Amino acid sequence: TVKAVIFDLDGVLTDTAHYHFQAWQALAHELGIGFTEQDNEQLKGVDRLGSLRWILQKANRQLSAAEEARLMQQKNQHYLELIAHMSPADLFAGVQPLFAELRQNGIKIGLASASKNAAMVVERLGIASQFDYIADANDVVNSKPDPEVFLLAAKGLGVAPEHCIGVEDAVAGIKSINRAGMQAIGIGEPKVLNNALKVYPTIQALKLTDLMKL
């Protein structure tokens, strides 16, 4: 039986993926490295340092820890400027009704995000108070595909992993859910998220009745 649903943030509840893309692309271009939307797909769910290193590796570049820190700070500054204008209107359609249904059925709501900016984003979206527990990149050592962030969310909710469903848009995220021993629901393309139990094109297509059948 399902006792909790744990959501990823970027790409599941809102489209911050596009802002991450813009900020990484600007940085990559400044470094003389090409960076496309397709490249950005690989970075979904990947933490900040992992993302920077992925971009540097494209050009066979390696930098000192201090340089890496400076570039991460620069990217984040740009990202913060981009998300500063976010509002409840940026919440994906279908999220509010799904949350309301979960609540009515006594199912807990958790967040498991690889972003250090997760708290600020859910605040801007106006949904911060709806989570029973929020786990983000500030609280974990190992990032997705490691299961740590989903396991932390389950622990915070007080629900055993086998009674949790995880919802993710990234390949690394689906892996993280599976390794946590939870049931994985994908948002996106079945071809890409082929390790998910079920895949829906958008969160709006996901209904509580489907989750209950798992």
187 forms bridges with which residues in the sheet?
Answer: 200
140/77 Cα distance (integer angstroms): 22
**Residues 167-196, interacting with Mg ion (CB under 5 A):** 169-170
Stretch that binds ligand B16, among 5-13, 30-38, 55-63, 204-212 (CB under 6 A): 5-13
Residue 124 binds ligand B16, judged by CB under 6 A:
no
On whether 43 is known to bind a ligand per the annotation, the reply is: yes
Q: Does 136 bind Mg ion (CB under 5 A)?
A: no
Vertex 160: Cα angle to 138 and 130 (nearest 5): 55
Q: Which is closer to ligand B16, CB of 201 or CB of 212?
A: 201
Residue 132 or 169 with smaller CB distance to Mg ion: 169
Tell me: does residue 109 bind ligand B16 (CB under 6 A): no
In the block, which residue shows the tokens 């622990």? Answer: 155
Rg (CA), the chain: 17
Phi/psi of residue 199, each to 5°?
-130, 135
For the record, the structure tokens of 32 come out as 């003389």
Active site residues: 8, 10
Binding site for Mg ion (CB under 5 A): 8, 10-11, 45, 169-170
